[in-house]
Structure 1
Amino acid sequence: MTRLPAPVLRAADPSDYDAIAAVIDDWWGRPILGSLPRLFLDHFHRTSLIAEGPSGMTGFLIGFMSPSAAGEAYIHFVGVDPGARAGGVARTLYERFFDLARGHDRHVVKAITAQVNTTSQAFHRRMGFTVSEPVPGYNGPGTSLVTFTRTI
């Protein structure tokens, strides 16, 4: 098996939104762009990351330091090119985000996912997150989401 070179990480820029929007539905295998409006890169690009490989973007992480919950950071969205999965891109993005969070005096990182996204739940467990049972009504009636919490 050929090992891909480690991705180069950089801070996101608002102009990265168009590149993310162009691939996100394909990377997820379903329409998901509506969950990532442009405002996240307009307002949280300094705490969001882009992973790049020899052929371009291989992944991204959209995250921010909570303005309301002192000591907490939040990962809103992560995507990895299917061709780069299992190559450590997501782990590298998360580890760099943890470093950013620590640098902002944050000690807890949180995230959520859909109840059916068992791949994400397994990944977060491997990354040391506590994974909740589905929380009914998390985003309103008829929704159940799984929450993730990790002390860093």
Structure 2
Amino acid sequence: MKRLRRLCFALALGLGLSLTTAGVSTAAPEVVAACPPEGTRFKTPTTGATVFLVGPSGFLYSIPSEAVYRKLWRTWDGIITIDRASCNKSSYALTNGRLRHWDGGGANVYIWDESWDDFGMTNRYRWIESWSIFTEKYHFDPEAIEEVKYGSDIYPILEPNWT
């Protein structure tokens, strides 16, 4: 949709200019969209039903199954379709992704992030820094949060946090 709006805007501007203006190319410009912002869920025409999530620091996740997707989001609303080439970076599966909250641990919500490996330390829970990041940026489903009885059910908790 953005491309269509940009194209219409470019055409509207172009109609006011002479095609013979010195130094102006009449060739159509190549439109290259940037990778969407953090928190965006998207599909691509070339990757089938796979849903991608742009996570913290632009880290790109793929959601490996509908079961994992349902542990994070209630609906399919908000997923956009883009050309995969516009976000041409490696993606990592958010394998076994889930949300947890320890009923004795304050308001903190954690996400299981099996993919993150910054120092050879995969398989960890990461704290989602605020409720607004949880609901407004990543649009996670509050009803998908698993309440756990013991702090050890959310282990290990390692940084960096989800921002």
Normalising by structure 1, we get a TM-score of 0.27
More helix by share: 1
Larger Rg: 2
